Structures are given as C-alpha cells and as structure tokens.
Amino acid sequence: MTGPDPAVAAVRAALRDDLAALAAADDALVLVACSGGPDSLALAAGTAFVAPRLGLRAGVVVVDHGLQPDSADVAARAAAVCRSLGLDPAQVRVVEPDGPSEAALRAARYAALEAAADELGAVAVLLAHTLDDQAEQVLLGLARGSGARSLAGMPAVRGRLRRPLLGLRREVLGASCAAQGLEPWHDPTNLPEGGGARRSSVRHTLLPVLEKALGPGVAPALARTADLLRADAEVLEPMSDELLARARDAAAPGTAPGLDVNLLAAAPTAVRTRALRTALIDWGAPAGALSAAHVAAVDALVTRWSGQGPAHLPGLLVERRYGRLSPHTPTSQPGSDGGRS
C-alpha cells in the first residue's frame, strides 16, 4: 500500500507539527484563511485531513476584498470547495479596505479574520504563507531600506495567527493541489502580466534574476536571514519595550505625551531605535509608511541635537523641547518659545 503523494505528505507533516501544540484543547476550532489560490487551498485540504486526527475541528474563512467584478463568485467557489473537503463552518466575509494598497488590503483581511475568530471562538487562524513569501518579504524590506524588524519577516506564530507552511516552497503546495485533483483559482494580480504590484514584480522578475545570477538557493537563504534576525529581535524587542516604558514614565505627570531624551540617549542604538519606532506608531504614524529614514530623523533629535526643527514623518511631526520628544499633528504648530533643550 503506497502512501500519499510526497507533496501532500509534506503539507500534512508541517500541519501535524504545528497543530500538535493546539491538540490539548479538545474539540477546539481552528480556521483556515483561504482565497481559493493554490497555497491556501493546499492548506485547507491538509487541515481538513490533519485536524480531526488531532481532536480539532476545522473551518474556513474566505475574505472577499471586492476588488474584481467576479470576486463574490470566486469567494463563493472557494468556500464551496472547502466545505466539500469537510471544513465547517465555511464563511465568506466581505470587507471594504481603505484603498487598494497592499497594506490596506492586509489590514482589512486580518481584521476580518480576527473578527471571525472572535465570533466563532476559534483558537487559531491558519495562514498559507510559504518560504517563498518569506523570501519576498525580506527583499521588499531591503528595497525599502527597512531595519531588522522588517527584515525578520513574518513570524510562524503571532497571537492566534499561525503560519504552519512557512518552511515549504510554493511549488510543493501547488503539487499538493494537483495530486489531490484540486483546481485552485489563480489571482490575476499575482501573475506576471497582472500589473505592477511590488510583490508580483519581486516574485516574477527579481527572484528569478537573483537565482540566475547567484545560483539556486536564494529564497531559502533569504528565509534563513529572516529566522536569524527574528532570533535577535526576540531579545531586543523586550529591551526596547522596557526602555520605552521608562522614557514615558520619566515625563512629568499630566503633561502631553512625550519621551525623556536623556534616558533614550543612554540606551544602545538597536534598542533605542526600536523604542522610537514603537512610539511613533503609537503616536499615529502609519506603520506601513514608516521607514528607517524616518526613525533616523527622530533619533537625530536625541543623539545629534543642534537645535534643529521637528522631524517630519507621514501624518506626524516630532519635536524636541525641554528635554523631551513630543508628537504633533502636521496642522498644529509646535512651540517656538526658545524652550528647546
């Protein structure tokens, strides 16, 4: 008696390793985020097989972004296929992103998945990101000049979100679908002729060029880089959180939000810049638009102070006054009474 196709077996093995951590919660529900594409359909089929054998229930959420004329039909078909695999409940969630950007689509999608998990009482939401997605994420971060936080890529687990297939290549997931007779939907924006999306360009142009110039193994090497940087981040981020809390506590009670410059200046650069980035996002700077150059401009107010004016960031101004960094909206006028220090 022969076993399953090697690609099918690889997907199932990755899921068993990941979902075993949840098996102690008897009859717990896990949800698959499925678009109907090859990656998420392979994840759905693998979860439908593995979850019941671990004592878990498995359902699916299909998010319809409404960006294409037939998106409702595509979402309904994806839900129907998942239902036929044995996933129940099988929901379609329609979202209205704040614009067509990748960041806006991602935010709307994750909000819908978290809302579904809340309503259904799911202990986890499974995402179909692959090793190739991780490599693309690292390249996009490099192109933006991002710091180690972005280059660390996507975590395997963050809260309820889990990425059990992060160690598998995209071609394995496609082969898994083919071996099981599954016919995935192919998002036209992910195809070479699908437009100018940055990730599509990285996938179909940049990575093949790198593979040709440097030899095979570029994507796994980029994914390993993300793993190494994430290990560093796991040490540095708690330190930056503690620094940020102390810098906030040092501000005078009852005053506007601010950070103590002396405490920040005494910290190592890797810890201080992480703390600053977190503070800037808390103050309203959009995370997706916040670059390493923006953080460096604010860091200069701490470490290279010469009486300069405020740092200009997306949606935010940051000024140094009286030994503190303070945020302002672009329409407000930071003080200029000579009290800077």
The tens digit of pLDDT for each residue in 178-211 reads 999 999 988 776 655 444 467 788 888 889 999 8
Query: CATH assignment of 234-328, given 1.20.120, 1.20.59, 1.10.10, 1.10.3470?
Result: 1.20.59
pLDDT digits (tens, 9 = 90+) for 133-148: 999 999 988 877 667 7
Global pTM value? 0.81
DSSP secondary structure, 95-144, as one string: ---SSSSHHHHHHHHHHHHHHHHHHHT-SEEE----HHHHHHHHHHHHHH
Tell me, which fold does domain 6-214 have in CATH? Rossmann fold (3.40.50)
Closest alpha carbon to 10 in 179, 183, 223, 168: 168
269: pLDDT confidence band, cut at 50, 70 and 90? very high
Residue ranges per structural domain of the chain: 6-214, 234-328
Distance of CA 225 to the CA centre of its chain: 16
